[in-house]
Amino acid sequence: MTPPFAEQLNLRLCHRCKYASPMDNGPSHCARCMAPLHYRKPGAITRAWALTLAALVLYVPANTLPIMRTSALHRDSTTTILGSVVELWQQGAWDIALIIFIASVGVPVTKFLALGYLLVTVQWRSTRSRKERTQLYRLLELIGYWSMLDVFVAGLLTALVQFGPLGGIEPRPGILYFGLVVVLTMMATLSFDPRLIWDTGKANE
Amino acid sequence: MSESTQLVICEYCDSVYERQALDRHQRAHCQRCGALLDRHPWLGVDQLLALSATAGILLAFVCFYPILRIYTRDQSGSATLLEAVLALFDGSIGLIGVTAAFGVILVPAAQIGLLIWLLAFARKQRHAPGFQPCMRLLEVLRPWSMLEVFLLGALVAVVKLTGRIDTAPAAGLFALAALSLLMVGVAGRDIRMLWDQLS
């Protein structure tokens, strides 16, 4: 037996308190927590596209600009994210190199591909593998902020290694773009509405 | 209103179910999309309150006590959570400092504050003043707490420095680990039980 959809029972889910709000008098706000009620998140597809594309654009400087500058008496070097991964790999710290690679390249690229795929299939009103696509969305929610890793590493190293005029570690603009990519992709994920995946083909169930 | 609190709607596919009473360690999943619908709460009001207070103390601790220390021949240095965040406020990239401050200090602090506020009144079977907006704010804040990532960042930083500078974890690192674990339990869905318990 398949469960009914909220719409068929004239109910609406409150996104804030998860209350099943009866829509008999067409209330515009949740009776329990007073949050505004929406049938689906407003402008979900447009917002998710806009935020994803903005993040994609910023992902270019995030990778090409240096994220950190290390200065010492006789050495002064800047590294990009990929540069630091390669450097760690060559030093033999392949495990940390792998963690940073997954957090900084794997996670954002997965997010771009997954968001693009979900948006395109919803717009094509695809009815295929809806359960798997919903699971993909939950994966997106789960990996949300893990790409902030490099930002925090940069902050900690900067605070830690301050040798005054002799040198130290400083953050560089790459880290700013990187953080913005994380925030924008998180906002894109939050503004997408996974219920749109199920809105197609309800009639023939 | 009492009738429809007996219903659960899946937030991923909009399927409607009747709420089932769950035993310890039992979970209810959506038949249609597999999402978690409901689970037995891990903690009661008193326990949540006690752990929220603990989390508050730990957060204050990691803000002001060093997480990592470094030693060179003639110098040593250390960094607290607060210092690591402030280091990102440097000039042209200040915006990233704001983001980091939100993720590891402001959002967790707000979550802990709201939890203590709501739970302190809930113990006396009362709604805290501003109950509805406080509960809504907790839902909005949940995805933005990034303490676990910072913890991983601290471990990565240790490895990046080893070989070049002597690095040692300090008390703050252990407090941070405990805090990240606590926040998973405390800032989760359990607080939603107040909607039912206090009505």
Kindly state whether residues B32 and B48 are assigned to the same domain. Answer: no
Q: What ipTM does the predicted assembly reach? A: 0.89
Kindly state whether residues B36 and B52 are assigned to the same domain. Answer: no
A52-106 pLDDT, tens digit per residue, is 999 999 999 999 999 888 887 667 788 888 888 998 888 888 888 999 899 889 9
Kindly state whether residues B137 and B177 are assigned to the same domain. Answer: yes
Q: Output A162 or A199, whichever has higher pLDDT.
A: A199
Q: Which candidate from B7, B160, B163 shows the least CB-CB separation from A153? A: B160
* Range with lowest mean pLDDT among A53-57, B21-25, B95-99, B145-149: B21-25
pLDDT of residue B40 exceeding 90:
no
The token pair that represents B116 in the structure block: 């203590």
Kindly state whether residues B29 and B55 are assigned to the same domain. Answer: no
Contact A62, A174 (CB under 8 A): yes
Kindly state whether residues B27 and B55 are assigned to the same domain. Answer: no
Average pLDDT, integer, range A167-178: 87
Range of the domain at B61: 43-197
Kindly state whether residues B137 and B154 are assigned to the same domain. Answer: yes
Per-residue confidence band for A144, with pLDDT thresholds at 50, 70 and 90: confident
Number of domains in chain B: 2
For residue A170, the chain B residues in CB contact (below 8 A) are: 90
Kindly state whether residues B30 and B52 are assigned to the same domain. Answer: no
Complete DSSP assignment for B40-57: --SS-HHHHHHHHHHHHH
Q: How close is the nearest chain A Cα to the Cα of B189, in Å? A: 10
Kindly state whether residues B28 and B62 are assigned to the same domain. Answer: no
Kindly state whether residues B17 and B87 are assigned to the same domain. Answer: no
Per-residue confidence band for B50, with pLDDT thresholds at 50, 70 and 90: very high
Residue to mutate among B88, B131, B139, B162, with most A CBs inside 10 A, is B88
Beta strands in chain A (DSSP E): 11-13, 20-22, 68-71, 76-79, 168-171
Q: What pLDDT is recorded for position A73?
A: 63
Kindly state whether residues B33 and B49 are assigned to the same domain. Answer: no
Q: Which candidate from B8, B93, B152 shows the least CB-CB separation from A175? A: B93
Number of CB atoms found within 10 A of residue B102's CB: 18
Average pLDDT, integer, range A37-57: 94
Kindly state whether residues B56 and B19 are assigned to the same domain. Answer: no
Q: Tell me whether strands A168-171 and B27-29 are parallel, antiparallel or unpaired.
A: unpaired
Q: What pLDDT is recorded for position B1?
A: 43
Q: Which candidate from A135, A163, A183 shows the least CB-CB separation from B75? A: A163
Average pLDDT, integer, range B25-53: 91
Chain A residue closest in CA terms to B150: A152
pLDDT of residue A164 exceeding 90:
no
Kindly state whether residues B73 and B149 are assigned to the same domain. Answer: yes
How many angstroms separate the CA atoms of A21 and A3, rounded?
17
pLDDT of residue A22 exceeding 80:
yes
Q: Which of A195, A200, A202, A198 minimizes the C-alpha distance to A44?
A: A195
Record the pTM: 0.90
